[in-house]
Amino acid sequence: MQFSIKRRGPDSLVVLTLCLLQGCSVLPEDIRATLPESMRGDTQALTDYPTPSLKGAWKDIDFPELTIKLTQTGNAFKYSRNGLYRGIPVKANYQGTLNGRAIKVDYLAQYPGQVRGTKGTCFGVVSKDSSSIRLTCEDTIKDTYPMNLSK
């Protein structure tokens, strides 16, 4: 089998190699979303999905003792994480926006002994069935950390 490739940029060879090694239909969605539409295969970019409905009770997979209730209006939403984690009070307020299944969240967390709260930002993705949210968050105290929520 021979291929004739017209080189269009450094990414063309990488994409072709991945397609040949794994088959385009099994490329991770985040890689496919960066490809031209004609090369995406059986998926679409995260931002091409309709806005999911997220309102209701959620749980933090890593900190199940914290309560989370999410409210949503259109593509904007708010939630708070409250409770005690190992005897330490946790109080954080989040507000974010959805662009399809892509999610961006800004938050303010208040830690014990802190005069001012800590601000941070999270980016991530909502699952196709809207039952989980996977975020990567960053602030000046905790650095970068994951936050995984499920309904």
Is 143 a domain residue? yes
Shared domain check, 27 and 68: no
Residue, of 29 and 117, whose pLDDT is higher = 117
What b/e string do you get for 110-144 counting C-beta neighbours within 10 Å, with b at 16 or more?
eeeeeeeeeebebebbbeeeeebbbbebebeeeee
Total domain count for the chain? Answer: 2
pTM: 0.69
- Does residue 96 sit in the same domain as residue 28? no
Tens-place pLDDT, residues 130-146 = 999 999 999 877 789 99
Show the CA angle centred on residue 101, arms to residues 96 and 102, nearest 5°. 55
76 touches 96 (CB < 8 A): yes
CATH of the domain at 88: 2.40.128
Range of the domain at 25: 10-44
User: Quick one: 36 and 60 in the same domain?
Assistant: no
Which distant-in-sequence residues (6+ apart) come within 8 Å of 34 by Cβ? Answer: none
Mean pLDDT calculated for residue range 94-123: 90
Distance between CA atoms of residues 33 and 99, nearest Å: 14
